Structure 1
Amino acid sequence: MLVLAVDTSTPAVTAGLVLLDDGGPHTITSRLTVDARLHAEVLTPHILDCLRETEHTAADLDAVVVGTGPGPFTGLRVGMATAAAFADALHIPVHGVDSLDAIAEGVQGHRNLLVVTDARRKEVYWARFDGTGRTSGPHVGAPSTVDTSGCDAVAGSPQHVDLFDLPVEPVESPSPRSLVLLAADALLRGDTPEPLVPQYLRRPDAVAMADRKR
């Protein structure tokens, strides 16, 4: 099964092709650009580059997996809209997975882990994990409000991990393999995916004039 994986929940614009079978997911190729201002400009070119490099076409894709955040409104909707558009045009399923979960999946051994990403406004998105999965979150708030109890490492935003008195794991954003790994069981079973729901965790900065008057 050939899966397109994308994530734009962080400043990293990620796209990759992942081969999934009973042995698990294996990344064939990927593209990564770290720039919070370029989500819309580079995501689709990244996808097309991955297809060209591997001599595949979009018609070869069997499914799409996309990170649903939490993430800032503008960046997150680029990835989710692009994933949905590819899936709709090709009549293939699109599965959404939690982006913080995907970062945690990228940490070897999982550990008792804190994952933080940039929520802007001097805040972070965060969640806690143990060896079996997420134990708290996702939440959004000031770094001073983050509950680090039980954590022995932190991963995620390089601008924020040093705010916590924890060893840093060098995983900054979701990888294609980690994204697909979270959806692997559902993909292999052929489950009908749930509708994509973005995790903004708060209202967008941009508000229509009609809404401002209410």
Structure 2
Amino acid sequence: MKILSVSTATSNLSVALNDSQKIIAEKNEVDKRNHSEHLDPLIDEILKDNQLTLQDIDRFAVAIGPGSYTGLRIGITTIKMFASILHKDVVGISTLQALAKSASGDDLIVTALDARNDNYFAAAYVLDKNQIPQNVIPDGHYHIDTLLQAIKDYLKENDRHLLLLGSGLDKQEDKIKALGVDFAYGKDEQNGVHAGLIGQLAETAEPVDPDKLLPKYLRRTQAEVDWHKKTGKPFGPDSDYVEEV
């Protein structure tokens, strides 16, 4: 199965071509924030380098969040368009699960993206026998104290080392040490979102209708908050407030 995967969830842009679990090619641009300009050329490069066209792709996959609001929309919109026009499978993969996929062993894998002011988009995973990360602390938007309490509660019942992946947790080292457990930070390569790992997860993930592929922000955008204050209406799907605004 040929799978084309992208991540525009963070400042790093990643595009990959997989043949089932084998990563054929992956291209990454580090700390670039103009994904709208660079995504299509990177996809084109990977396809041309491997003598393929979009029609040759069996399944498309994309990181659906958490992450940058604008970044997520760029990747998701592109992949939805490809899948819809070409009538191909499409899969959305959690950004945090994709980070966890870089790990191995029996660690409790905590993946996080710095959301500032001691807040994090974060989750915890353990690997199953097929090396697929299984969620044991849900993807969410956590204050560091809430996240660490959830980790502490899990480790009380499960004897595992702690592996920290992603961004920003190194700023909390004193609090992490206070947990009294063995922990380690991931290598630099593991702390970025890799499209090749998204492709590996996508092989066995359940495809969705392209129209139902939506970003998972895990917290309200400022536009939603302002709209709610203005209208007094309950929060609903993105389209509800976008049309109103």
- Shorter-chain TM band: 0.7 to 0.9
Q: CA deviation at 1:144?
A: 3.8
Match of 2:222 in 1: 205
Cα distance between partner residues in 1 of 2:39 and 2:114: 19
Cα distance between partner residues in 1 of 2:229 and 2:191: 36
Match of 1:54 in 2: 50
The residue correspondences of 1:50-89 to structure 2 (distance < 5 A) are 50-89=46-85
Structure 2 CA distance for partners of 1:161 and 1:39, relative to 1, 3 Å: farther
Structure 2 CA distance for partners of 1:15 and 1:121, relative to 1, 3 Å: farther
Match of 1:193 in 2: 208
Q: CA deviation at 1:146?
A: 1.9
Q: CA deviation at 1:184?
A: 1.7
Instruction: Report if the CA contact (8 A) 2:104-2:127 is conserved.
Output: no
Aligned-partner SS, 1:11:
coil
The residue correspondences of 1:111-150 to structure 2 (distance < 5 A) are 111-120=107-116, 123-132=119-128, 133-147=134-148, 148-149=151-152, 150=155
Q: CA deviation at 1:68?
A: 1.0
Match of 1:13 in 2: 13
**1:163 and 2:182 correspond:** no
Cα distance between partner residues in 2 of 1:8 and 1:202: 18
Cα distance between partner residues in 1 of 2:38 and 2:118: 26
Q: Which is higher, the Rg of structure 1 or of structure 2? A: 2
**Structure 2: gaps spanning 5 or more residues:** 129-133, 156-160, 177-182, 232-245
Cα distance between partner residues in 1 of 2:4 and 2:191: 20
Amino acid at match of 1:173: G
Cα distance between partner residues in 2 of 1:125 and 1:89: 33
RMSD: 2.3
Aligned-pair identity (%): 28
Amino acid at match of 2:194: S
Q: CA deviation at 1:40?
A: 1.4
Instruction: Report if the CA contact (8 A) 1:115-1:128 is conserved.
Output: yes
Instruction: Report if the CA contact (8 A) 1:16-1:27 is conserved.
Output: yes
- Indicate the structure with greater helix content: 2
Amino acid at match of 2:97: D
**1:109 and 2:105 correspond:** yes
Instruction: Report if the CA contact (8 A) 1:15-1:31 is conserved.
Output: yes
Match of 2:164 in 1: 154
- TM-score when scaled to structure 2? 0.75
Instruction: Report if the CA contact (8 A) 1:9-1:67 is conserved.
Output: yes
Instruction: Report if the CA contact (8 A) 1:115-1:127 is conserved.
Output: yes
- TM-score when scaled to structure 1? 0.85
Q: CA deviation at 1:213?
A: 2.9
Structure 2 CA distance for partners of 1:118 and 1:89, relative to 1, 3 Å: farther
